[in-house]
Structure 1
Amino acid sequence: MTPEREQRIAALAAAVAEGDSRAILEFGAAAQARVTSVADEMLRGVRNKDLGAAAAPLNEMVATLRGFEVGAVGGERSLIDRLLGRAKPVAKVLQRYQEVQSQIETSIVKLEDHKTALMRDVELLDRLYATTLEWFHDLADHIAAGERALALLDSETIPAKEREAATGDMLAAQALRDLRARRDELERRVHDLKLTRQVAMQALPAIRVVQENDKALVSKITSTIVNTVPLWKQQLTLAVTIARAREAGGDLKAATDLTNQLLTANADALRQSNAEIRAQVERGVFDIEAVKRANEQLVGTIEDTLRIADEGRKRRAEAEATLLSLEAELKQSLAAAKARTAPPAQP
């Protein structure tokens, strides 16, 4: 702790220890108010920053370069193309290159603009970090001063007032009560300042994270402009040079390649057809899996027949018992009806 900071903390502690309730309530309020300004500044940075806009031209450039197939340079022309005098693959690629080059230049201009904006954001975040760090130290000074004032009140001021109130003076007792109330207010105020300091502590790494993301995007844009595009042009130059060399002996190579392709194709076809024929020859009349499956189904059919027969026999027995019961009930009902309809006996 520097002498200047020690002197400042001592002055703040003395002022708040001797101050009234209003001074205690406003203690550190200015330092706490800075959290709003820092949060507003971070929010403005987030609103003004459109990472999607910065990434769009970057993705467009990558997609354009990927869509330009350098490997197509020097491809063989068909016989029809040769007879009709159509353009050679190298000429087509060079024409396509002119179109892609225009798109790449437009994307580079957009990326440079976004890169400049991101660099400004990085500088702004450096200033914001410095401001937040000052705010953090200011809160720490107020907290240290508040704790020092609480210690002074607990060790000296309140015991002195307690001795005065012990004499029975009513005004001294009321003054002691007010002093204790201010002491509690100061303790709560110091606690609030500690919470605010925690918010400041969390804001510091958050600012660095946002700044690191901006730096990473700037590095990606720079790498694409400085490395990817020149490398693409270099690969195109090499491809065109190789393609022109290939065109000089293209006919001989085509004939040799065709012969090799026929030989290998016939050999492959012979091997494949032989494997298929031998596989069918070596198969039995029935596959064991089919026989096993048929046997399982037959056994299941027999078991199902026996089970269904047992169930039918059981249902018939139950139905026969039910019929006997119904027949007995019917007979009983008819006998009762006959007894009711018989004439009374003569005396």
Structure 2
Amino acid sequence: MSGTLDSLMDDAVREAGIAEVRHETAVQEASAVNTEGVTLTPDEEEKVKEFISRIDINDSKLVLQYGAGAQKKIADFSETALANVRTKDLGEIGELLNSVVSELKSFDNETEQKGGFLGLFKKADKKLDGLKAKYDKAEGNIDRVVKAMEGHQVILLKDVAMLDKMYETNLEYFKELSLYIIAGKEKLRDARENELPRLLRKAEESGLAEDTQAARDYSSMVERFEKKIYDLELTRNISMQMAPQIRLIQNNDTMMSEKIQSTLVNTIPLWKSQMVIAIGLNHA
């Protein structure tokens, strides 16, 4: 009688184990996404197949390291992008632009208070000499600032080109990680639809505790691998967020470079031409 009771208890434990695994499988399947909805090139499809062929869900080390290389590339890339932002000082360039405007406004205000350019030239020659002295001083200050701005513009233009390359690199890493995710999800789908049901049927048919445990272990590894894929998706989100951030930084650099260019080719030359015209009219 005791043997029969023990046998019934063993059967109950085994059935409970199989039922538990089936329940976990159903939950996993309900939440699974089998495809990424991504159109792959023939080469990318081959890479996905290659990745799938290498995946062994029973290998704990492989599950842990799956896609780790691609993850590290994105992590290192993020550090590089962050370092680029930290070393950039657009505030200094803004101060230089403001100093040019302030210098020109200060000079113009002085001339306006004395009747403008022509008003000054209608007075004594010493007034003209004073104006020329102030012009020379203002021009010297502006020329020094211009040299600094030209240096910053060269750096900004190099940064714009570098950010283009960074954008392409980030896109490359994003695609690589996406291939790992697609391959991983495909392997998960196959594991849930084929291998795990096979193990469950075997456990149910044999009634052996070791087969039930094997099904449990495999189900647990499937769950771990699913978590790994989710971890890869989190890393891919970092790459996804980097793309618009790179473009934003690039746009800021471009706008600042354009402001420098406008100051160099429009604002300052216009101011100098006004001085030339005023002096020419005075000597006419």
**TM-score range normalised by the length of the shorter chain:** 0.7 to 0.9
1:75 aligns with 2:113: no
Asked if the contact 1:17–1:150 (Cα under 8 Å) also holds between the matched residues in 2, the reply is no
Asked if the contact 2:178–2:236 (Cα under 8 Å) also holds between the matched residues in 1, the reply is yes
Deviations 1:281-329 (A, max 9, x none): xxxxxxxxxxxxxxxxxxxxxxxxxxxxxxxxxxxxxxxxxxxxxxxxx
Asked if the contact 1:17–1:152 (Cα under 8 Å) also holds between the matched residues in 2, the reply is no
Distance across 1 between alignment mates of 2:199 and 2:264: 75
Aligned to 1:144: 182
1:199-214 paired onto structure 2 within 5 Å: 199-214=238-253
Residue number among 154, 166, 172 corresponding to 1:128 in the alignment: 166
Deviation at 1:18, TM superposition (A): 4.8
1:40 aligns with 2:79: yes
Aligned to 2:59: 20
Aligned to 2:91: 52
* SS in structure 2 at match of 1:73: helix
Distance across 1 between alignment mates of 2:58 and 2:222: 11
Distance across 2 between alignment mates of 1:168 and 1:74: 109
Unmatched tracts of structure 2, length 5 or more: 1-39
Aligned to 2:5: none
Aligned to 1:8: 47
Larger Rg: 1
TM-score, with length taken from structure 2: 0.78
Deviation at 1:57, TM superposition (A): 2.1
RCO (CA 8 Å, sep 6+): is it higher in 1 or 2? 2
Aligned to 1:342: none
Unmatched tracts of structure 1, length 5 or more: 246-347
1:179-218 paired onto structure 2 within 5 Å: 179-218=218-257
Query: One-letter code of the match for 2:85?
Result: V
Distance across 1 between alignment mates of 2:240 and 2:269: 44
Percent identity (aligned): 33
* SS in structure 1 at match of 2:196: helix
Query: One-letter code of the match for 1:188?
Result: K
Aligned to 1:325: none
Aligned to 2:211: 172
